[in-house]
Chains A and B, each alone.
Chain A
Amino acid sequence: MCLNWTMKTERLRSLGIYIHIPFCVRKCKYCDFLSLPIGAEPISLVHEGEREKMIRTYFKALENEIENKSAHFREKNYTVDTIYIGGGTPSVVPASFIFSLLEKVYKALDVESDAEVSIEVNPGTLKKSSLELYRKAGINRISIGVQSTNNADLVMLGRIHSREDFLKSYDEVLQAGFENINLDLMHSVPGQSLDRWKSTLEDALWLKPDHISAYSLIVEDGTYFKTLQDEGKLRLPDEDTALEIYRFTNTFLEENGFKRYEISNFAVPGRESRHNLRYWDLSEYLGVGLGASSFLLDRSLPDIKGLRLSNTRDMKEYLDSGQNALSEAKTLDRDRLMEEYLFLGLRKTEGIFEERFEKLFGISLREVYGAVIEKQVKEGVARFEDGRLHLTERGMEVANPVMAEYLRQ
Chain B
Amino acid sequence: MGDHIRNFCIIAHIDHGKSTLADRIIEKTGLLTEREMTDQVLDNMDLERERGITIKSQAVRTVYHAKDGEEYILNLIDTPGHVDFNYEVSRSLAACDGAILVVDASQGIEAQTLANVYLAMDHDLEVFPVINKIDLPSADPDKVAHEIEDVLGLDTEKAPRISAKQGIGIDDVLEAIVREVPPPSGSKDEPLKALIFDSVYDSYKGVIIFVRIMDGIVKKGTKIRFMANGYEDEVVEVGYFGAGQFITCEELSAGAVGYITASIKDLKVTRVGDTVTQADRPCAEALPGYKKVNPMVYCGVYPADSAKYPDLRDALEKLQLNDASLVFEPETSVALGFGFRCGFLGLLHLDVIQERLEREYDLDLVTTAPGVVYKIYKTDGEMIELTNPSNLPDPSEIEHMEEPVVTAEIMVSTEYLGAIMKLCQERRGTQISMDYIEQSRVMLKYELPLNEIIYDFFDALKSRSRGYASFDYELKGYQRSELLKLDILINKEYVDALSFIVFKDNAYERGRKMCEKLVKEIPRHLFDIPVQAAVGGKVIARETVKAYRKDVLAKCYGGDISRKRKLLEKQKEGKKKMRQIGTVEIPQKAFLNVLKLDDED
Point out the residues of chain B lying under 8 angstroms from A407, CB to CB: 568-569, 572
- Which residues from 288 to 314 on chain A have a C-beta closer than 8 Å to any C-beta of chain B? 291-295, 308, 310
Q: Is B69 an interface residue (CB 8 A)?
A: no
Q: Which of A240, A340, A396 contacts B565 (CB 8 A)?
A: A340
Point out the residues of chain A lying under 8 angstroms from B548, CB to CB: 397-398, 401
Tell whether, in the assembled complex, residue B557 and residue A310 are in contact, meaning their CB atoms are under 8 Å apart.
no
Tell whether, in the assembled complex, residue A216 and residue B554 are in contact, meaning their CB atoms are under 8 Å apart.
yes
Q: Is B284 an interface residue (CB 8 A)?
A: no
Chain A at the B interface: SS class: mixed
Q: Is B537 an interface residue (CB 8 A)?
A: no
- Number of inter-chain CB pairs below 8 Å: 96
Q: Is B552 an interface residue (CB 8 A)?
A: yes
Given contacts A33-B557, A293-B560, A407-B572, contact A398 B565 (CB under 8 A): no
Q: Is A279 an interface residue (CB 8 A)?
A: yes
Which 3 A-B residue pairings sit nearest by Cβ, starting from the closest? A404-B571, A215-B554, A239-B549
Q: Is B562 an interface residue (CB 8 A)?
A: yes
Point out the residues of chain B lying under 8 angstroms from A405, CB to CB: 572
A295 to B560, CA, bound (A): 9
Q: Is B567 an interface residue (CB 8 A)?
A: yes
Point out the residues of chain A lying under 8 angstroms from B571, CB to CB: 400-401, 404
Q: Is B551 an interface residue (CB 8 A)?
A: yes
A381 to B565, CA, bound (A): 20
Shortest Cβ distance from B547 into chain A, in angstroms? Answer: 8
Point out the residues of chain B lying under 8 angstroms from A240, CB to CB: 549
Shortest Cβ distance from B251 into chain A, in angstroms? Answer: 58
- Which residues from 536 to 556 on chain B have a C-beta closer than 8 Å to any C-beta of chain A? 548-556
Residues of A within 8 A of B (CB): 18, 20, 33, 84, 86, 213, 215-216, 218, 239-240, 242-243, 246, 263-264, 278-279, 285, 287, 291-295, 308, 310, 328, 330, 340, 343-344, 379, 381, 394, 396-405, 407
Q: Is B558 an interface residue (CB 8 A)?
A: yes
Q: Which of B553, B558, B562, B569 contacts A18 (CB 8 A)?
A: B558
Given contacts A399-B551, A401-B551, contact A293 B558 (CB under 8 A): yes
Point out the residues of chain B lying under 8 angstroms from A396, CB to CB: 552
Q: Is B153 an interface residue (CB 8 A)?
A: no
Tell whether, in the assembled complex, residue B558 and residue A243 are in contact, meaning their CB atoms are under 8 Å apart.
no
Shortest Cβ distance from B561 into chain A, in angstroms? Answer: 6
Q: Which of B549, B559, B564 contacts A295 (CB 8 A)?
A: B559
Q: Is B527 an interface residue (CB 8 A)?
A: yes
Point out the residues of chain A lying under 8 angstroms from B550, CB to CB: 216, 239, 242-243, 246, 397-398
Tell whether, in the assembled complex, residue A242 and residue B549 are in contact, meaning their CB atoms are under 8 Å apart.
yes
A402 to B571, CA, bound (A): 10
Tell whether, in the assembled complex, residue A86 and residue B551 are in contact, meaning their CB atoms are under 8 Å apart.
no
A399 to B527, CA, bound (A): 14
Point out the residues of chain A lying under 8 angstroms from B572, CB to CB: 404-405, 407
Q: Is B1 an interface residue (CB 8 A)?
A: no
Tell whether, in the assembled complex, residue A293 and residue B568 are in contact, meaning their CB atoms are under 8 Å apart.
no
Tell whether, in the assembled complex, residue B526 and residue A398 are in contact, meaning their CB atoms are under 8 Å apart.
yes
A18 to B561, CA, bound (A): 14
Shortest Cβ distance from A376 into chain B, in angstroms? Answer: 9
Tell whether, in the assembled complex, residue A400 and residue B569 are in contact, meaning their CB atoms are under 8 Å apart.
no
A86 to B550, CA, bound (A): 28
Shortest Cβ distance from A116 into chain B, in angstroms? Answer: 15
Point out the residues of chain B lying under 8 angstroms from A402, CB to CB: 526
CB<8 Å pairs between A and B, sample of 6: A216-B550, A279-B556, A379-B527, A396-B552, A401-B526, A401-B551
Q: A263-B552, A398-B552 are in contact. List 14 more A-B contacts (CB 8 A).
A: A18-B558, A216-B552, A216-B554, A278-B559, A291-B558, A293-B559, A293-B560, A295-B559, A295-B561, A310-B562, A330-B562, A381-B526, A401-B526, A402-B526
Tell whether, in the assembled complex, residue A379 and residue B554 are in contact, meaning their CB atoms are under 8 Å apart.
no
A243 to B560, CA, bound (A): 26
A402 to B559, CA, bound (A): 21
Shortest Cβ distance from A262 into chain B, in angstroms? Answer: 9
Given contacts A239-B550, A343-B568, A381-B526, contact A213 B558 (CB under 8 A): no
Give the residue name and chain of the B residue nearest to A239 (CB): B549
Q: Which of B551, B556, B575 contacts A400 (CB 8 A)?
A: B551
Given contacts A293-B562, A308-B562, A398-B526, contact A213 B555 (CB under 8 A): yes
Shortest Cβ distance from B124 into chain A, in angstroms? Answer: 60
Tell whether, in the assembled complex, residue A293 and residue B551 are in contact, meaning their CB atoms are under 8 Å apart.
no
A301 to B569, CA, bound (A): 27
Shortest Cβ distance from A216 into chain B, in angstroms? Answer: 6
A239 to B575, CA, bound (A): 23
Point out the residues of chain A lying under 8 angstroms from B562, CB to CB: 293, 308, 310, 328, 330
Tell whether, in the assembled complex, residue B558 and residue A397 are in contact, meaning their CB atoms are under 8 Å apart.
no
Point out the residues of chain B lying under 8 angstroms from A308, CB to CB: 561-562
Point out the residues of chain A lying under 8 angstroms from B561, CB to CB: 279, 293, 295, 308, 340, 344
Given contacts A264-B554, A404-B571, A407-B568, contact A287 B526 (CB under 8 A): no
Most buried by A among B550, B564, B572: B550
A294 to B551, CA, bound (A): 27
Shortest Cβ distance from A30 into chain B, in angstroms? Answer: 10
- Which residues from 552 to 601 on chain B have a C-beta closer than 8 Å to any C-beta of chain A? 552-562, 564-565, 567-569, 571-572, 575
Point out the residues of chain B lying under 8 angstroms from A343, CB to CB: 564-565, 568
Point out the residues of chain A lying under 8 angstroms from B556, CB to CB: 279
Q: Which of A243, A264, A293, A379 contacts B549 (CB 8 A)?
A: A243
Point out the residues of chain B lying under 8 angstroms from A344, CB to CB: 561
Shortest Cβ distance from A315 into chain B, in angstroms? Answer: 16
Tell whether, in the assembled complex, residue B552 and residue A400 are in contact, meaning their CB atoms are under 8 Å apart.
yes
Tell whether, in the assembled complex, residue B552 and residue A287 are in contact, meaning their CB atoms are under 8 Å apart.
no
Give the residue name and chain of the B residue nearest to A216 (CB): B554
Point out the residues of chain A lying under 8 angstroms from B559, CB to CB: 18, 278-279, 285, 287, 293-295
Given contacts A279-B559, A293-B561, contact A399 B549 (CB under 8 A): no
Tell whether, in the assembled complex, residue B560 and residue A218 are in contact, meaning their CB atoms are under 8 Å apart.
no
Point out the residues of chain A lying under 8 angstroms from B551, CB to CB: 397-401
Give the residue name and chain of the A residue nearest to B575 (CB): A404
Most buried by B among A330, A404, A407: A404
B461-482: CB near A (< 8 Å → 1, else 0) gives 0000000000000000000000
A400 to B571, CA, bound (A): 8
Shortest Cβ distance from B551 into chain A, in angstroms? Answer: 4
Shortest Cβ distance from A186 into chain B, in angstroms? Answer: 9
Give the residue name and chain of the B residue nearest to A217 (CB): B554
A308 to B555, CA, bound (A): 18
Tell whether, in the assembled complex, residue B552 and residue A399 are in contact, meaning their CB atoms are under 8 Å apart.
yes
Most buried by B among A293, A330, A381: A293
Give the residue name and chain of the B residue nearest to A378 (CB): B583
